[in-house]
Amino acid sequence: MNNLVERRRRYIQRQIKIDKGAVNVKFAGMQPKGSGAPNRHGMPKLPVGQHEVKNWPVLDLGEQPHVPTAEWKLDVGGLVDNPFTLTWDQFLALPQAEDVSDFHCVTTWSRYENHWRGVRFKTIAELAIPKEEVKYVLCTGYDFMPGTFIPYTTNLPLARAIEDDVLLVHTWEGKPLPPEHGGPCRMITPKLYAWKGAKWIRKIEFLAADKKGFWEVRGYSNSAEPWFNDRYST
């Protein structure tokens, strides 16, 4: 146990350095594009090519899995010192975070100032203790492409996943996250296009090499930066 605590302490120290490298070098030196006053990250409120909506449009692969909280589980593994599986009650027992952030969909709409409650991805990472070679994460949802066994997956750099506003949320606007939006639990990535946050999340893998997800292998951008109109691979 003491060895595990020490490895967790060393990972948290490494994490501080990982945070400093979170800016995508692909766009280094480029000016973020958009309109409106700067948001809390210094970016224009509305990213380039987006329009504001008041509702929350529903998008999915063509099916919406029904996942009762009594049956929900989150498997966390890959290149980690402490793989684990969480039940719903164990997930709710973790330190909870509240945040207000904007939601940017690659289909050109943005919804401002969503109130969320959930668990920071950073908390999950600190429990798992990724090995030093880990650079990426791959998230998998309970949903599948209709008529197949192909699950929804999405990938992102570890540096982006452990930013403070990346959450596994169970509450939206003070109510349980609606099933059509990924309830009981989904991931949100406010500084990336929303497809990078898996709905109905069931698995997180920590990887040394990047592994493209469902939309990424179908021509969507691997980096998904809204303020650079980074929608599709080039």
Give the mean pLDDT of the chain. 94
Total domain count, the chain: 1
Residue located via tokens 């409650």? 117
- Mean pLDDT along residues 160-188: 98
135-146 confidence digits (pLDDT tens): 999 999 999 999
Max CA-CA distance within the chain? 51
Domain of residue 71, residue span? 2-228
Judge whether 59 lies within some domain.
yes
User: Which amino acid, one-letter code, is at 68?
Assistant: P
Judge whether 127 lies within some domain.
yes
pTM for the complete prediction? 0.94
Whether the bond between 68 and the residue before it is cis, its omega within 30 degrees of 0, is no
CA 27 to the chain's CA centroid: 20
- Mean pLDDT along residues 167-175: 99
Judge whether 233 lies within some domain.
no
Judge whether 85 lies within some domain.
yes
Residue 183 CB contacts under 8 Å (≥ 6 apart), including other chains: 67, 170, 176, 177, 200
pLDDT confidence bin for 176, thresholds 50/70/90: very high
User: Which CATH number fits the domain that encloses residue 188?
Assistant: 3.90.420.10
Q: Say which residue, 28 or 51, is predicted with more confidence.
A: 51
| pLDDT for res 21 | 46
Contact 176, 169 (CB under 8 A): no
Is residue 20 scored above 60 in pLDDT?
no
CA 173 to the chain's CA centroid: 18
Judge whether 234 lies within some domain.
no
Structure tokens that stand for 186 in this block:
């989904």
| pLDDT for res 68 | 98
Judge whether 208 lies within some domain.
yes
Is residue 224 scored above 80 in pLDDT?
yes
Is residue 76 scored above 70 in pLDDT?
yes
Judge whether 159 lies within some domain.
yes
